């Protein structure tokens, strides 16, 4: 197996792992948010009471839910995609532009991940009022999102730049436009 094939296979493996992680996070946080909502409605309108902790859980879970969706969109090529421009270019132009977009995205998102470490550490001293969960929990979702989008951009960069994969643009795709 050539080096090029090994690199592309590894890139696909990383993308598959990131996609599986994001789907797991989306399922877990989505059902948790739904469960919190159902319990909150039941306690408020059936039991006519309230559970204070239920008001804090959505604010802790929602950043993770958003992180899973944003990163999943990035892995599938649905983020900041210049689909119409890519669609109008010849195959070599598509590959060049996609390589440029992913190189720029990798640099920007990995830098953002680096700088969000400091914010996460600062927010760790803050605590939620009722549950006393550190503020770094929400910022960790942001850090992980930046890191995984940067990694996804690097894998796409390897696939298009090193592996010379064709950039497929499907404007009618329901799972993303650029593959």
Per-residue pLDDT of 125-145, as tens digits, reads 999 888 899 989 989 999 999
Q: Kindly calculate the radius of gyration of the chain based on its CA atoms and give it in whole angstroms.
A: 20
- Residuewise pLDDT in 10s, the chain (179 residues): 788 889 899 999 999 999 999 999 999 999 999 999 999 889 888 888 777 778 889 989 999 999 999 999 888 877 655 677 777 889 899 899 989 989 999 999 999 999 999 999 999 999 988 889 998 998 999 999 999 999 999 999 999 988 888 887 766 665 555 55
- The model carries a pTM of 0.85
Does residue 30 lie in a domain region? yes
Q: Domain range spanning residue 14?
A: 3-162
Does residue 167 lie in a domain region? no
Residue written as token pair 């605590």: 127
Buried b (16+ CB within 10 A) or exposed e, 120-138: beebeeeebeeeebebbbb
Does residue 170 lie in a domain region? no
Rounded CA gap, 55 and 33, in Å? 11
Number of domains in the chain: 1
Residue written as token pair 């696939």: 159
Does residue 53 lie in a domain region? yes
Does residue 122 lie in a domain region? yes
């Amino acid at each position: 197996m050539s080096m090029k094939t090994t690199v592309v296979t590894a890139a696909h493996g990383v993308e598959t792992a990131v996609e599986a992680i994001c789907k797991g996070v989306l399922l877990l946080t989505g059902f948790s948010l739904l469960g919190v909502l159902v319990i909150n409605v039941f306690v408020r309108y059936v039991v006519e009471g309230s559970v204070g902790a239920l008001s804090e859980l959505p604010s802790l879970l929602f950043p993770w839910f958003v992180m899973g969706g944003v990163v999943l969109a990035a892995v599938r090529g649905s983020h900041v995609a210049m689909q119409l421009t890519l669609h109008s270019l010849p195959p070599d132009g598509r590959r060049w532009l996609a390589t440029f977009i992913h190189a720029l995205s990798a640099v920007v998102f990995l830098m953002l991940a680096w700088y969000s470490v400091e914010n996460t550490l600062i927010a760790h001293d803050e605590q939620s009022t009722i549950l006393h969960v550190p503020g770094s929990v929400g910022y960790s979702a942001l850090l992980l999102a930046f890191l995984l989008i940067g990694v996804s951009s690097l894998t796409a960069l390897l696939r298009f730049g090193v592996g010379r994969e064709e950039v497929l643009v499907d404007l009618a795709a329901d799972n993303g436009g650029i593959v």
